[in-house]
Every structure is written in C-alpha cells, then in structure tokens.
Amino acid sequence: MKLKNLELRHFRNYEKINVNFSDGINVLIGNNAQGKTNLLEAIYVLALARSHRTRNNRDLINWKYENAQMKGRVSKAYADTDLELDLDRSGKRAKVNHIEQAKLSSYVGQLNVILFSPEDLSIVKGSPSVRRKFMDMEFGQISGQYLYNLSHYQRILEQRNRYLKQLYYRKAHDRLFLDVLSDQLSAFGAEIIHQRIQLLAGLEKSARQIHWDISLHKEKLKFRYVTALKDKDLTSTNHIYECLRALYKKNRNREIKQRTTILGPHRDDIHFIVNGKNVQTFGSQGQQRTTTLSVKLAEIDLMKSETNEAPILLLDDVLSELDGNRQTHLLKAIQDKVQTFLTTTSLSGITKKLIDNPKVFKISNGKITID
C-alpha cells in the first residue's frame, strides 16, 4: 500500500499542509525541532488512531487551536481508501471512505505502518513490557481477532486482580467466582499466546535470514517465547488453555497473597538468541543493533504475508545511525517494494544508492517545500 496524499490541519506545529508523496522513498530533511518527527507521527496516528509518543490527544493538537484534522488517501492493489481522523481534546472520530466508524477496531488496519526510531533498540535492550507492547502493536495491526482478544483479556485481568485484592482483604470470599475468572482469563490468554507464537514464528523466519545476511553469515538469530508454560504445552490453543487453568489452580494462594495475577500473556516475554546466547544480556552493541534492524525489517515481510499488502515504513533518525553494511541491507529490504518516509538533518553519511531517486521535502518550522 502507498500513502498518496496527506492533509493536516492544526496537527502539532503544522497549520495547514497538503502534500503528495512518492511511492518510493520520501526524505524529510530539516534542522532540529522543525517538525520532521511530527510529520511521521501524523502518518502513524492516521494509521493506528494513536500516537507512539503520547497518550494525550491534546499534545497532538496545535497549541493555538481546539482540534485537529488529518486526511490521507491510501492506495492498495485494488482500490483507494480515504482515511480521516478528527481529534479534539476529549476524543477522536475516525472515518473510512467518509463513513464514520463506530469502533476503532474497524478503522485500524486500513493503513499499515512500521515505525523505526532509535528508541526501538529498547525492543532488544529494554524490559519485557517493551517487547509485549511491540507484539501487541504489530499483531494488533495484522489481526483484528488479536486486538479483540487482547482487549477482553485486559478487562478480565483487571476484574481478576481486583477480586484477588478483595479476597486478600477478606472483603470477598467466593473461591468459585475466582475459578470462573481464572477460566475466563485462561480462555482469552490461550488465544493470545497461541496467536503470538504463530505470528512470532513467521517473524522469526524472515528475521533469521536478514540477520544472517547482515552479519555476513556469522550469526544465527532465534526467538524464544518466554512463558510460564512448558514448550510441550504450547501445541494448541486448547492445550494452552488447560495448562493455564491448572497453573492458576496451583498458584491460587500465592496469587491471593500477592494480590495480583502472576502469570499469563501479560507477563510473557521474547528472548532474542544470537548464536545460542541471549542478545539482551550477552550481545555486543553491534549485535543488538543488527537484531533490532532484522526484527524491524522482518515485520515488513510478516505484514505483507498476513495482509497481502506491503506496509509503509517510517524511519525516524535511524539512517545516519546505521553503518554502510546495515544501510545496504535496509535498502535491499525496501527497494521498489516499500514506500518509505525517512527523516534526517543532512544527507551526508547516507549511502548514495539509498537516495538514488528520492522525493525530498524540506521542513522548516511547520512548513514543507519540495526540493
């Protein structure tokens, strides 16, 4: 898919812009604090109806105004789709082809994006919650079913944690109801774990090849889904369900004592293993960067195979951070396949090949000019 056109009104430091993009590589060049990341963020928000930088709508609306509008035309293999998002301080309204969508889940997924910024290194280096968020964001874009299971799981988890607290403080006493909540949580948890494992397997397949190539055939990348369940229990949703139930039963008193649900997909993690060692703890900076890049580039393949459309790639300040070899592999992954938006303060240090035929936009204080 391609983003053909973007219209913004009162988004961040933009007053009013209307830009047509190239299907290939779009370079956003400008000094610091001019609005480059803001523009990438706009594309991200248009796709996911939420920002990667803030949870607060207010931050997205230009300080001088009460609301913001964004419109984009997305072209896919068979048809064009018009997306529109109106933001005010309390909420958002989303339209697909000019029809308002009651549920955000029917809006998200129309435009698929992958964002790559220097902070993404924390997918490898950061805490497990970063990796869970990574899975939930990516898999939620790919699968409406995943998003549905996740929101139910989170709701039931909240109920169960509250009930554990009430049991602990003896404000509640009914163990049968705790069993019901455990069963319910196990049912949705099993769906999520099963989907994660399947989607991760697809992601791993591409990431392994990319990592192998970047490392000049020296490093083997593997993923391990880390969970309280044993490998042999992960074969089917039903099996996972039964094992989760058994674990909740076994840990019941411990959970009441700790007043919270101590196991389930909300506690799981991924380990990235390079040549048999966990790269988070044992990897060099370079290995960690290669892993991050491989995982990110593998996302392109995964989205393509799951949705039949290549996503849009947003690269925020990452290019100048990659050495020539890694830039070349990035190029290989996106060339002629993926519409790309990249920000940079200068073109020096970027492989000539990569910006062979780009459309260059100069960004200065919320204004865009075509170079």
Residues lying near Mg ion in the complex (CB under 5 A) are found at 37
325 annotated to a ligand binding site: no
Per CB under 8 A, 156 contacts another protein: yes
| CB within 8 Å of 269: residues ≥ 6 apart | 128, 131, 132, 225, 226, 227
Type and span of the H or E element at 134: helix 128-142
Cα–Cα dist 274/112, whole Å:
29
Choose, by CB under 8 A, the member of 96, 172, 331, 347 that binds another protein: 172
Structure tokens at 360: 């260059």
110 annotated to a ligand binding site: no
In this chain, which stretch among 54-62, 167-175, 249-257, 356-364 interacts with another protein, using CB under 8 A? Answer: 167-175
Choose, by CB under 8 A, the member of 159, 235, 238, 258 that binds another protein: 159
Per CB under 6 A, 117 contacts ligand ATP: no
Per CB under 6 A, 288 contacts ligand ATP: no
In this chain, which stretch among 51-59, 173-181, 310-318, 358-366 interacts with another protein, using CB under 8 A? Answer: 173-181
What is the number of H-type helices and E-type strands within the chain?
11, 15
Per CB under 8 A, 155 contacts another protein: yes
33 annotated to a ligand binding site: yes
The DSSP 8-state label assigned to residue 220 in this structure reads -
From the CB of residue 76, how many other CB atoms can be counted at a distance below 10 Å?
Answer: 15
Total binding residues toward another protein, as defined by CB under 8 A: 19
In this chain, which stretch among 29-37, 170-178, 266-274, 331-339 interacts with another protein, using CB under 8 A? Answer: 170-178
**Quick check: 3 and 340 in contact, CB under 8 A?**
no
Residue whose structure tokens are 């956003």: 28
Considering the complex, what minimum distance in angstroms separates the CB of residue 307 from ligand ATP? 28
Helices (H), 71-118: none
Structure tokens at 197: 């494992």
Per CB under 8 A, 158 contacts another protein: yes
**Three-class secondary structure of residue 310 per DSSP:** coil
Choose, by CB under 8 A, the member of 50, 53, 76, 152 that binds another protein: 152
In this chain, which stretch among 57-65, 161-169, 194-202, 221-229 interacts with another protein, using CB under 8 A? Answer: 161-169
CA-based angle 160:251:159, to the nearest 5? 0
Q: Which residues, 61 to 100, sit near ligand ATP by CB under 6 A?
A: 61-63
Per CB under 6 A, 357 contacts ligand ATP: no
Structure tokens at 100: 């308002």
What does 90 interact with, of Mg ion, another protein, ligand ATP, none (CB < 5 to 8 A by kind)?
A: none
Q: Which residues, 27 to 46, sit near ligand ATP by CB under 6 A?
A: 30, 32-38
Q: Is 323 left (phi over 0), alpha (psi -120 to 50) or beta?
A: beta
Q: Which residues, 175 to 234, sit near another protein by CB under 8 A?
A: 176-177, 179-181, 183-184
From the CB of residue 315, how many other CB atoms can be counted at a distance below 10 Å?
Answer: 23
Nearest to 97 by CA among 112, 111, 82: 82
Cβ neighbourhood burial of 339 (10 Å; 0-12, 13-18, 19+): buried
Phi/psi at 192 (5° precision) = -65, -45
Q: With respect to ligand ATP, which residue has the nearer C-beta, 30 or 358?
A: 30
24 annotated to a ligand binding site: no
Structure tokens at 276: 């048999």
What does 172 interact with, of Mg ion, another protein, ligand ATP, none (CB < 5 to 8 A by kind)?
A: another protein
Considering the complex, what minimum distance in angstroms separates the CB of residue 370 from ligand ATP? 17
**Three-class secondary structure of residue 9 per DSSP:** strand
Cα–Cα dist 321/305, whole Å:
29
| Binding site per annotation, positions for ATP | 30-37
Positions that interact with ligand ATP (CB under 6 A)? 12-13, 30, 32-38, 59, 61-63, 345
Positions that interact with another protein (CB under 8 A)? 152, 155-156, 158-160, 162-163, 166, 172-174, 176-177, 179-181, 183-184
| Binding site per annotation, positions | 30-37
